[in-house]
Structures are given as C-alpha cells and as structure tokens.
Chains A and B, each alone.
Chain A
C-alpha cells in the first residue's frame, strides 16, 4: 500500500465516521463535530494528493486546504450561533425536538 493509498483510506474512514456522527448524534453540537470531521477528511485528501502527486506550481493543494479551513471555521461559528439561538427558544439541543416542519 502506497502512502497515498493509506492517506486516502484514512480520509475515507474519517469521512465515514463523521457521517455516522452526523446521522446518529442527538445533540446538535455533536453533529457539528461530525461535520468538522468530514471537512477534515477532505483536507487530508488534498494534502495527500499534493504531496504524492505531480508537482503543481499553483500549489492547488495547500491553497484549497487554506480556504477550506477558513470556511470551516466560519461555518462552525455561524452554526454554533444558530444552535445557541435555537437553544434559547427551546431550552434544549435535541435535534429530534426540532420537527415543527414535519409533513
């Protein structure tokens, strides 16, 4: 197994773990945790391909990861702010309770 393959496997597994967290966690904040894991897995992918792929003068790998981190941080901030607002309204962070849009 080449290093690249190992990195890709790592990234896939981490992505799946993040997805599992998103799908099964009841607390909204812990769902955010899962989202961060997923984003992180994608970042690993980029760095892996930059390191073990053909050379790229535009430095696409690190550049993308830079932006990804920035945006992930912004999104985490906004997500947490929203969760706090919802918490104020409903006094809980249980996702199952937020079903007023049901059909």
Chain B
C-alpha cells in the first residue's frame, strides 16, 4: 500500500507534465518518465514480467521512437503553449471532464472491493509462457502477423519518395 501511495502522485505529476509542457522534447521525456514509473508500479504489484516488458518496450522503444521523431521534425515551441490558447484548453477540459466524471463515478462503486490480498501473486515465466502459447496461441500468431505487417508498412511509409525500386545499378 505504501509504495502505491508514493508512486501514484509521482505518476500523475509526470503525466501532467507530459501533457502540459510546451516544449515537445520535454513532454516526450516526461512521457518516458511516466512510463518508467508505471513499470515500477507493475513490479510493486508483483507483475514482474509485465513490468520488465513495460520497461523494454514502452520506455526503451516507444518513448525513444517518439523522441527520434521529434528530432526529425523539429517542431517549434510556441505553438504548444497551451496557456496561450485558453479557448482550446477550455474546450478540451469541457470534453474530457465528463469522461472523468463518469469514470470516477464507476470507480466509486468499487470503493470497498478488492481487499488487500496479502499473498504475492508472482507468476513464473514458465507459467506465462505456457499459457501464452497454448490458450492464446491464435492471438500470438495474429499479433505476429500484425507486427510483420506493421514493420513492412512502416518501412514503406518511411522510405524516401520518388524511388519505386532500387536496383543495384541505380544507386
């Protein structure tokens, strides 16, 4: 419980920073921080494997990817000054606060559910792997196909325009 109490505000602060900061790189880095703190949270909740995966994939790949894209596109800072755009902020709040209200309302129903369970439910990797590749095998295969497609698609999107095929003699 205690680690939870410490981590929750930290995560929220970092997320707020990611959303509020005007300078894009700062926001991206704060996102990385948020994701990292999230991973720690998973570890605290004895979801070791998931926590490590979170570190590796989210922090190590996604956040880095985002930073790289910012480096390529080099956006300016002024445009992101949300404080200078009160109307946009108000509209955004007006649209998201009801969502929050609904969610908090639902959460309020669970106030007394899920008492702290003392046992640490750590799961062995062997167990995870078996479940993954037997019960969810079709899903794994689908995800594999999806990732392949994404890889090919991203490569297609990202290459330079104007070149249909690259023959050895042309390059």
* Chain A interface residues toward B at CB < 8 A: 1-10, 12-21, 23-27, 29-30, 32-34, 36-37, 40, 43-44, 47-53, 55, 58-59, 61-63, 65-67, 69-78, 80-85, 87-88, 92-94
A-chain residues with CB within 8 Å of residue B150 when the two chains form the complex: 74-75, 77-78
Q: A69-B54, A77-B151 are in contact. List 8 more A-B contacts (CB 8 A).
A: A10-B8, A24-B89, A29-B70, A30-B27, A40-B58, A51-B47, A74-B146, A76-B66
Q: Is the CB of B111 within 8 A of A80?
A: no
Contact check, A40 vs B89: say whether CB atoms are below 8 A apart.
no
Q: Which of A1, A2, A12, A33 contacts B28 (CB 8 A)?
A: A33
B residues sitting closer than 8 Å to A (CB atoms) are: 1, 4-5, 8, 11-12, 15-16, 18-19, 24, 27-28, 31, 34-35, 38, 41-42, 45-47, 49-50, 53-54, 57-58, 61-62, 65-66, 69-70, 72-73, 75, 79-80, 82, 85, 88-89, 91-93, 95-97, 99-100, 103-104, 107, 110-117, 121, 123, 127-128, 131-132, 135-136, 139, 143, 146-147, 150-151, 153-154, 157-158, 161
